[in-house]
Amino acid sequence: MAAGLLWPREAFPHNPITTTVLFNREVSKIFQQKCVQCHAAGGLAMPLTTYDEARPWAVAIKEEMLERRMPPWPAERGYGEFANDLGLTIRERDFLISWIDGGVPAGEGDPPAYMDHSAHWMLGTPDALLTAASGVTIEPGRPLGFSRIVVNTALTQEKWLRALDYKPADKRVVRAAVLSIAETGQYLGTWTPWHSTVEMPAGAAIRMAARSRIAIDVFYQSASVPVVDTPKLGLYFAAKRPAHEVATTVLAPQAAPAPAAGASAPRVKASMVLSKDTSILEMRPDLGSLGRSVEVKAIRPDGSSQVLLWIRKVRPEWPTSYVFRKPVTLPKGSTVQAIAYFNPASGQTSSPFSVTFSSYDAP
């Protein structure tokens, strides 16, 4: 769960206990898997790591959960399987509702200890450790939005990037970071508080030329005090040229959508035909601030189709990519199609629409 809960709504202190679901047993485990990446001390929003911290927010948690505002994962379940899926399962949702409606019992003993791994390099010691030369100052009241930081890799020869780990200097202000090679636009991956590392599948890597620089587009929110964010980046290289080179493909309509003020939301379509057998690793849709919904579909040459991603309600305030649990392999001649709908807005004449794919040629 994340920063949408603005004020605690105390559960009635004398509610009878009518549930067997306990904070110290089931609920704390759900929070640790789906919430405390943002909801911990020094994080994006109020902490939920202990019973005393979580109990006053019980009613608000239920409201945010039922409205699907929290956790901030907009993809509809059943369309694509993603390694960075933050959404609640039906079982998790039922547990939380039962706990809240049943009197928010704590239970005996202590909950599992919360382990904050954000300060550790989760993939081991990096082969290259980079620090931004200068930080970004985030003033109180600053609106949500991206700022770009460019980091010099100081590479003296070509390298093959197999993984990276990104660390913001202050977790209170960073909601996401999109990383790419500054010179070519090659997409590297997206960091979020709940998916902090980027790893290529075995035998795959991204080519980085000598003297490459890495562009980090950081999506910031403000804090109550000025914050200077000077992030660090750990890079992990393959020992040799991999069997598969990961490439970037951007799917976009030929003309930018132009929603007219007061008009119904336009439908915009973009498609491409694969020239080779292709394994898709990840995709990152960008519909700007006017995006309402998007569907990404693959249509194979035999006419069969597969919905790769369906977002019924776009959440531009929570940028994320969608990393497939297993690469999706499509044969040559397949069509990848994206259909997006946009909300009209007064005074705004266009909105970006693109889907960025990471993929490699299938064996």
Q: Which residues pair with 315 in a beta bridge?
A: none
* Inter-residue contact 244 to 175 (CB < 8 Å): no
Mean pLDDT of 145-168: 97
Question: Residue 4's pLDDT is what?
Answer: 45
**pLDDT tens string 60-87:** 999 999 999 999 999 999 999 999 999 9
Q: Which residues pair with 163 in a beta bridge?
A: 199, 236
Mean pLDDT of 10-38: 86
**How many C-beta atoms surround the C-beta of residue 182 within 10 A?**
16
The amino acid sitting at 229 is D
Q: What is the spatial distance between Cα 58 and Cα 52, in angstroms, rounded to a whole number?
A: 11
* Inter-residue contact 334 to 298 (CB < 8 Å): yes
Q: Where do the domains of the chain lie, and which CATH numbers do they carry?
A: 23-101 (no CATH), 128-241 (2.60.120.230), 247-361 (2.60.120.230)
Is 327 in a helix, a strand, or coil? strand
If we measure between CA atoms, which residue out of 353, 158, 302 comes closest to residue 241? 158
Burial class (CB in 10 A: 0-12, 13-18, 19+), 341: buried
Comparing 8-12, 161-165, 220-224, the range with the smallest average pLDDT is 8-12
Q: What predicted TM-score, i.e. pTM, was given to this entire model?
A: 0.91
The amino acid sitting at 291 is G
